[in-house]
């Protein structure tokens, strides 16, 4: 095995490292941009499986999608508060919002088919903004 030395070897290593870092950062973002349309299709497929849905990896995928959207939503509200900005909404403290899978499904299904192309995160934000406006 030869050891790369000199400017060229170091430059190649730096470029390779940057590519790895960028793909590691960008790929998860792309992978997490699930649309409401896809979310609903997966959810309906799970409903059709009945109790066998519990063994499906899509169940944890959908749960994680909503959980991540909720965490991002709360983080944005907190960041706005810390920056002295008016919050986009005023949801109750964590655990008191009473948002379950039925609520999320009802809200997402109420979207017009043309609006189901938005990300789950965008739809979740809009749902929370409507449910918990600041008074």
pLDDT single digits (tens) 33-86: 899 999 999 999 998 888 888 888 889 999 999 999 999 999 999 999 999 999
Q: What is the mean pLDDT of residues 79-99?
A: 91
Give the confidence band of 3 by pLDDT, cuts at 50, 70, 90: low
DSSP string spanning 37-63? HHHHHHHHHHHHHGGGGGG-HHHHHHH
Other CB atoms within 10 A of residue 69 CB: 22
* Residue 115 to residue 123: CA distance in whole angstroms: 9
Give the confidence band of 118 by pLDDT, cuts at 50, 70, 90: very high
DSSP β-bridge partners for residue 21: none
Residue 88 burial class via C-beta count within 10 angstroms: exposed 0-12, middle 13-18, buried 19 and up? middle
* Residue 39 to residue 37: CA distance in whole angstroms: 5
Looking at residue 32, what is its pLDDT? 52
Residue 11: pLDDT over 50 = no
Residue 12: pLDDT over 70 = no
Q: Which residue's entry shows tokens 């706005």?
A: 80
pTM attached to this predicted model: 0.72
Other CB atoms within 10 A of residue 24 CB: 9
* Residue 81 to residue 121: CA distance in whole angstroms: 20
Mean per-residue pLDDT over the chain, rounded: 82
């Amino acid at each position: 095995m030869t050891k790369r030395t000199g400017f060229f070897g170091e430059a190649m290593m730096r470029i390779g490292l940057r590519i790895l870092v960028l793909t590691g950062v960008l790929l998860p973002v792309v992978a997490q941009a699930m649309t409401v349309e896809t979310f609903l299709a997966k959810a309906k497929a799970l409903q059709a499986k009945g109790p066998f849905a519990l063994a499906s990896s899509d169940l944890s995928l959908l749960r994680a999608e909503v959980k991540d959207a909720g965490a991002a939503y709360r983080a944005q509200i907190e960041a706005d508060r810390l920056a002295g900005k008016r919050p986009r909404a005023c949801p109750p403290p964590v655990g008191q919002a009473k948002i379950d899978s039925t609520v999320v499904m009802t809200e997402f299904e109420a979207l017009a088919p043309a609006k189901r192309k938005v990300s789950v995160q965008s739809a979740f934000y809009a749902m929370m903004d409507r449910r918990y406006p600041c008074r």
